[in-house]
Amino acid sequence: MKVVSETAFIGGKYAKEFEESFAKYIGVNYCVAVANGTDALEIGLQAVGVGEGDEVIVPANTFFATAEAVGNIGATPVFVDIDEKFYNLDPSKIEAKITPKTKAIIPVHLYGLPAEMDEIMAIARKHDLKVLEDCAQAHGATYKGKTVGTFGDVATFSFYPSKNLGAFGDAGAIISNSTEVAEKARLIANHGQFAKNRHTLIGRNSRLDGIQAAVLSVKLPHLESWLEARRKHAETYNKLLADSGLITPTAPEYSRHTYHLYVVQVPNREKVMAKLAEDGIETGLHYPTALPFLEAYSDLGYQPSDFPVAYSQIDKILSLPMYAELTDEMIETVCRSLKNAVALTATN
Ligand SMILES: Cc1ncc(COP(=O)(O)O)c(C=O)c1O
């Protein structure tokens, strides 16, 4: 209500308050709140100097926006296969894709699990590349004791309603420890204005609404307890599925997985999914097609053999229900139904 009575609709006091508290939560100097996570990626890339003609390394399995943002600023996404066990960018396959045009790497902390940041940062330093961490699915996840978003030159978040920290509509943010990067991002996101009607560059309009900022500020203090709830649910799933023969998610002991998604691998995936739906259990696919094989990238001419891991997992991955409010009984029901579905579809 205060947002309305104070007409703080776009940017303003409530957006500033959220920016400050989110920067503090992550442990960085600056947060620039923007309209959504895709804009955050585009602006974040531009803020570290990526643009027309550059190449940017992107994992073969992530949400489309990670690669789309690269294309939207005139650069080309260069896909790298993922790690078989952890679903994230495989650092051992990055260097083979580096060319003189490569300008940046975007590790995505997919499903809430931190990417292998030590190895990725070492490669980036060796080749003088920028690193943008796509943290859209990993608010509060940690790698070797440090929160994701604090490793690279810049990091971006989405607060899409279903994210671990979600607004009541679209919202996003760019974070950085660099004054220069944060100032450039803020400038780009607000029509290139450093003061009213003083435009120093051609920017765009991507600002956080006051109402979304107020929602996020109310929700942020609960985030840690929601993340812990997700982690506990993942443990329960792991325990109940231990005898199922299915591949369940795992994380290195130095990573705090925040389980934005709980992804298993199942045989006969489509049939299993249909059986679960019959039992009233909604599941998801993240993602049904690895990015290099999407129609949008058909001109790049990729073959399955270019991304053997991502390709081999496409028809197996299945996201089970995961949210903080799940109960043990609900998880038991899902696991029972899943085991039944796997047994039934193996014989039919
Ligand atoms: C990994 C990843 N990157 C980027 C985005 C884009 O965020 P938004 O939907 O807020 O534009 C998302 C959100 O769906 C995502 O999951």
**Predicted local confidence at residue 1, as pLDDT:** 75
Q: Distance (Å, rounded) from C-alpha 331 to C-alpha 327?
A: 6
pLDDT digits (tens, 9 = 90+) for 91-101: 999 999 999 99
> 161 alpha carbon to ligand 1 midpoint, in Å?
11
CB 247 within 8 A of CB 47: no
Residue range 215-238: average pLDDT? 98
> Does 107 score more than 90 pLDDT?
yes
pLDDT digits (tens, 9 = 90+) for 128-157: 999 999 999 999 999 999 999 999 999 999
**Predicted local confidence at residue 330, as pLDDT:** 98
Q: At what angle do helices 328-347 and 269-278 cross, to 10 degrees?
A: 130
Residue range 273-288: average pLDDT? 97
Residue whose CB lies within 8 A of the most ligand 1 atoms, among 34, 38, 212, for a mutation test: 38
Residue range 193-204: average pLDDT? 95
pTM above 0.75, yes or no: yes
- For residue 300, the SS3 value is helix
Beta strands at 130-134 and 76-80: parallel, antiparallel or unpaired: unpaired
> Does 228 score more than 80 pLDDT?
yes
pLDDT digits (tens, 9 = 90+) for 248-264: 999 999 999 999 999 99
| DSSP sequence for 184-242 | HHHHHHBTTEEETTEE-S---B---BHHHHHHHHHHGGGHHHHHHHHHHHHHHHHHHHT
Q: What percent of the chain has pLDDT over 90?
A: 96
Q: Distance (Å, rounded) from C-alpha 160 to C-alpha 105?
A: 23
CA-41 nearest atom, ligand 1? 4
Nearest to 156 by CA among 20, 41, 50: 41
> Does 11 score more than 90 pLDDT?
no
Q: Distance (Å, rounded) from C-alpha 246 to C-alpha 49?
A: 44
Residue range 151-169: average pLDDT? 98
Residues with CB under 6 A from ligand 1: 36-38, 62-63, 65-66, 108, 134, 136-137, 158, 160, 170, 172
Return the percent helix, strand and coil in the chain, to nearest 5.
45, 20, 40
Residue whose CB lies within 8 A of the most ligand 1 atoms, among 56, 63, 291, for a mutation test: 63
